[in-house]
Structure 1
Amino acid sequence: MGTEGDNVRVIGGRYRFEARIGRGGMGVVWRASDTLLGRQVAVKELGLDDSLSEDDARQQRERMLREARAVAQLRHPNIIVVHDVVLHDEHPYIVMELISGGSLADRIARQGPVDATEAARIGLALLGALRVAHAAGVLHRDLKPANVLIEAGTGRVVLTDFGIAQVEGASTLTETGGFVGSPEYTAPERMAGERAGAGADLWSLGVLLVAVLTGESPFRRDSLGGILHAVVYEELRPPAEAEPLLPVIQGLLQREPARRMPLDEAERLLRAYIATGATPQPAVPYAADALRPTYTPTRYDVPPAARRGRSPRVLLVAAALVAAVAGAAIAIAVLLSQQGTGDNAPPGSPGSSSRRPSGSASSASPSPTPTVTVTRRETRTETPRASAPSGYRIADDPGGFRLAVPKGFRREVDGPRVFYLSPGDTFRIGIKVTDTVGGGPGEAQRKSAADGPKNNPGYRAGKVTDTTHDGRAAALWEFTWNGFSAAEGARHTVDLCWEQGGRMYDVWVSAPVGEAGRGRAHFDAAVDTFVPSAGD
């Protein structure tokens, strides 16, 4: 009943493929014509694991078709309409409505993060979609910006790509094969190999809300192991942009599923925010188990199981999952935000005592950067510094300190500043140690910010935030600038300054705006492992 030839393919006797328009977690999406009804549709061609035996492949097809048919029964304005399910040449296909407009991920990449009101609108629409899906026993399992469409002209929010959805109680690919989904948006119970229910989709929605408000997932890391560690263990403190919806986000991002905010409560709070511009406190207080209002750098030393209330079995399962996932094909939607100070200028740049050309180039255009506040503990407790994370090494610097820097970075000195530079100077880690100054770190950073336009061409979006670092007074300075040449391109800098033992320590990282996610990881690793040779 199908034809294929002259680059034309027809399935089900009526759906004529025209062009590939996307790729989802489990297959390829095509624009097609429904020749029977004369309309445009989207057809998802579900991929099969060709390493399976004939019997296993048949079971996989049956499972996919069964779950696709369950999704086809869902009716909600914020759920993609499934028109048909077709088995053609032993391959399953899902025929869906064709939405005119890009994904939420595309929108953020082009226009940057959304404001709190729009985020609440998107969240409310997705909660409505999840309510209907969960009532029908369907779990989405891959809720992320790339799987949310925004219809052009109407702004309708449409949840799509149920390609890895699970019908509750059914055996799924996760149980029979390997991990499926996008780790940055995956609930910790799934990452730890535990059986997950509807609450896992609510966790993903909490991550999505942070991502649309700030421009990237709060669990964005450079490696799969880093993502897993962040999701399961790290204490995350979202940036200021997330604060208007913080009661909802904090409730959804509770690591223990039983403590997670229920759908009805999240819906009530988002409706209240849209109506009043303020989010009321939830009916049940949610402790900051996973979240606080400010960001804390990544802790790379894995805490004991008891610290997070998880069993040793979970630790073993999670470790095994890293190995399993590393060998699987996983689609991770990457939204990189950004990362430059008069003090961050590399050797050879304006304001430096020597001159050397920079080998960096970036074609990425600037995009908004999350404003973060580096805070750890408000008490003066000494915490042993972590060892270097994967891909880094501990540098025992002759300048009287040690810190983690990426492997392959070279050390250079320019006056009082020490630099660790990547090949081509694309990433720059800078450290400066001086005597304390009157007014402390805040005044020092504000003075540097005032000199920003003089020292950093195209200086913009500068912000200094007073904070603490290991209980000590500190100040965080972030800004975007144009780089020292057109070839270098726009850059973003994150700079933390604090006092310790009668000395002023300043650590910063400068990176191209399009590589800010990696720059942030380098900053986190440097600050989190930094130890001066003299105690305080």
Structure 2
Amino acid sequence: MPEQHTRLLAERYELIAPLGRGTMGTVWRARDRALGRDVAVKEIRQDPGLSEEQRAELRERMVREGRTASRINHPSVASIHDVIIDDNSPWIIMELVEARSLEQVIDEEGPLPPRLVAEIGVDLLGALRAAHAQGITHRDVKPGNVLVTASGRVVLTDFGIAKQEGDSKLTKTGMVIGSPGYTAPERARGEYTGPESDIWSLGATLYFAVEGRPAYERSSIAETLAALLSENADLPTQAGPLRPALTGLLNKDYKQRLSAAQAETMLRMVADTPTSEIPIIKDEQPKAPPRPPRPAEGYDPDRTIAVRVPKPPQMPTAARPPAPPVRNPQAPAYPASANTAPHQTPHPTPRPQPPAPPVRRPPVDEGDVNTMRVYPPGQQVYPPPPHMRPQQQRQQQPPPPPVFEEKGLGTDLFAIAGTNQEPPQTGNKRGMLILMAVAAATAVIIAILIVALVS
């Protein structure tokens, strides 16, 4: 909608000037003529290309935000005064908070001290706990949705994608709405959304405040999401005493993540400790990690987006992975068979070897004895141990082909290196002795004949 400074909503609220624009809409400064006070009015953004069904969904979400946020009573949550429908569009009338966003503060002033960030975290955690007590998850906690006033008041705003227990699911199946760098891993995968997800987003927000950069700073949305799902957060270098709390808040496993009570205890310890008494925590890597390439044009890591999460493929499950097979030490390694019984040590019966010249054996490398190596999927197993010479390899029978169950090929290959001991070749020694004896007897007979002929 065009900016109109004289537009009047519901014959009461006069729009004055826009305060800010975001993905979900525009926030206006307005005048409440009935009560004679300035208020903030949020207007929903309706793209011309949206269908009527999509417009209805956005309108319902906007009305829900007002209804949801009005139930939360906490100093760090902006108060909701009214929700109206004007010109087939919803408008939310709320408390006007004269403040900058935390994102603006960091961009203009740089990273904040750990103690101040801990104080901000305590206030935000109080707002989240008040929302969670009402069965409400925010789902979009990020620096752009945190306001900081000149007096130090911290306010959590924009419950536009908040979810209340029991509400109908407004977002289409397979879609996740949130800001890539501040969305919990379980939400990004489409697996789970709950209070723990807000706790993770709080940790990412505090990380940004104390480090001056996102925990997952990548050059594109795709790279950010990939890192979010497969990597740990970049190591904080300026967090100091706040580092243990950040580590617990950003745990990728929401079941192992800090609870709200645990997080509050840790944050208060940092916030209530005078700066002179805060112990110095040396980071393992004092230098900040190298910054990635400059983000692509138009990419904003703090922007709220919708991502379609593909349905995970159905994979056969097993009670437990098969144990590595125990094989004859003389046999070369090959992929483990599913039919091999685990933890069974065979006792092979020595078999006579075919006649062959004796072979000098080098000393056995003790580092290769009875060791097991695990190979990643697709990688070829090690070749035979180096102490097995080519002549010995040619004498051995080729290994039997691997046997696989119909459930599919395994993903792990195991190899066990043994001592490669062989039974002593006693038959060969006896043969040599017999030949030597025959040769000696023949030489004696020939000598006797020569003496007889000469005489």
TM-score, L = length of structure 2: 0.59
Cα distance in 2 between the residues matched to 1:114 and 1:7: 37
- Say whether residues 1:99 and 2:97 are aligned partners: yes
Secondary structure of 1:250's counterpart equals helix
Which of 30, 33, 52 aligns to 2:31? It is 33
Please show how residues 437-448 of structure 1 align to structure 2 within 5 Å.
none
- Structure with larger Rg: 2
User: What code does the residue aligned with 2:77 have?
Assistant: I
Assess, with a 3 A threshold, how the Cα gap between structure 1 residues 198 and 175 changes in structure 2: closer, same or farther. Answer: farther
1:497 alignment partner in structure 2: none
Render the CA deviation track for 1:4-40: whole Å, top value 9, x for unaligned: 9975211122111011110133111111111111111
Cα distance in 2 between the residues matched to 1:46 and 1:177: 23
Secondary structure of 2:178's counterpart equals coil
1:139 alignment partner in structure 2: 137
Secondary structure of 2:247's counterpart equals helix
Cα distance in 2 between the residues matched to 1:139 and 1:101: 24
1:116 alignment partner in structure 2: 114
Secondary structure of 1:8's counterpart equals coil
- Say whether residues 1:229 and 2:198 are aligned partners: no
User: What code does the residue aligned with 1:15 have?
Assistant: Y
1:43 alignment partner in structure 2: 41
Render the CA deviation track for 1:443-502: whole Å, top value 9, x for unaligned: xxxxxxxxxxxxxxxxxxxxxxxxxxxxxxxxxxxxxxxxxxxxxxxxxxxxxxxxxxxx
- Structure holding more strand per residue: 1
Q: 1:206, CA displacement in angstroms?
A: 0.6
Q: Say whether the 8 Å CA contact 1:236–1:296 is kept in structure 2.
A: no
Q: Say whether the 8 Å CA contact 1:187–1:200 is kept in structure 2.
A: yes
Assess, with a 3 A threshold, how the Cα gap between structure 1 residues 239 and 94 changes in structure 2: closer, same or farther. Answer: same
Structure 2: tracts of 5 or more residues without a match: 304-374, 377-455
Assess, with a 3 A threshold, how the Cα gap between structure 1 residues 263 and 36 changes in structure 2: closer, same or farther. Answer: same
Render the CA deviation track for 1:32-86: whole Å, top value 9, x for unaligned: 1111111111111122465554355435423431342121121110111111111
Give me the identity figure in percent: 45
Render the CA deviation track for 1:398-424: whole Å, top value 9, x for unaligned: xxxxxxxxxxxxxxxxxxxxxxxxxxx
Cα distance in 2 between the residues matched to 1:19 and 1:74: 27
- Say whether residues 1:332 and 2:301 are aligned partners: yes
Cα distance in 1 between the residues matched to 2:62 and 2:299: 18
Please show how residues 500-511 of structure 1 align to structure 2 within 5 Å.
none
Please show how residues 279-358 of structure 1 align to structure 2 within 5 Å.
332-333=301-302
Q: Say whether the 8 Å CA contact 1:180–1:330 is kept in structure 2.
A: no
Cα RMSD of the aligned pairs, angstroms, is 3.1
Assess, with a 3 A threshold, how the Cα gap between structure 1 residues 226 and 296 changes in structure 2: closer, same or farther. Answer: farther
Which of 81, 84, 108 aligns to 2:82? It is 84
Cα distance in 1 between the residues matched to 2:198 and 2:273: 27
Which of 256, 260, 266 aligns to 2:257? It is 260
Assess, with a 3 A threshold, how the Cα gap between structure 1 residues 99 and 227 changes in structure 2: closer, same or farther. Answer: same
User: What code does the residue aligned with 2:302 have?
Assistant: A
Q: Say whether the 8 Å CA contact 1:25–1:181 is kept in structure 2.
A: no
Assess, with a 3 A threshold, how the Cα gap between structure 1 residues 50 and 136 changes in structure 2: closer, same or farther. Answer: farther
Cα distance in 2 between the residues matched to 1:330 and 1:34: 37
Q: Say whether the 8 Å CA contact 1:141–1:165 is kept in structure 2.
A: yes
Q: 1:89, CA displacement in angstroms?
A: 1.3
TM-score, L = length of structure 1: 0.51
Q: Say whether the 8 Å CA contact 2:180–2:224 is kept in structure 1.
A: yes
Render the CA deviation track for 1:111-139: whole Å, top value 9, x for unaligned: 11100110000000000000001111121
- Say whether residues 1:217 and 2:214 are aligned partners: yes
Secondary structure of 1:276's counterpart equals coil
Secondary structure of 2:238's counterpart equals helix
2:147 alignment partner in structure 1: 149
Q: Say whether the 8 Å CA contact 2:180–2:302 is kept in structure 1.
A: no
User: What code does the residue aligned with 2:20 have?
Assistant: G
Aligned length: 294
Assess, with a 3 A threshold, how the Cα gap between structure 1 residues 241 and 64 changes in structure 2: closer, same or farther. Answer: same
Secondary structure of 2:210's counterpart equals helix
Cα distance in 1 between the residues matched to 2:3 and 2:107: 37
Q: 1:237, CA displacement in angstroms?
A: 3.9
Assess, with a 3 A threshold, how the Cα gap between structure 1 residues 39 and 193 changes in structure 2: closer, same or farther. Answer: same
Cα distance in 2 between the residues matched to 1:89 and 1:292: 58
Q: Say whether the 8 Å CA contact 2:233–2:250 is kept in structure 1.
A: no
Assess, with a 3 A threshold, how the Cα gap between structure 1 residues 100 and 60 changes in structure 2: closer, same or farther. Answer: closer
Q: Say whether the 8 Å CA contact 2:140–2:183 is kept in structure 1.
A: yes
Q: Say whether the 8 Å CA contact 1:237–1:295 is kept in structure 2.
A: no
Secondary structure of 1:22's counterpart equals strand
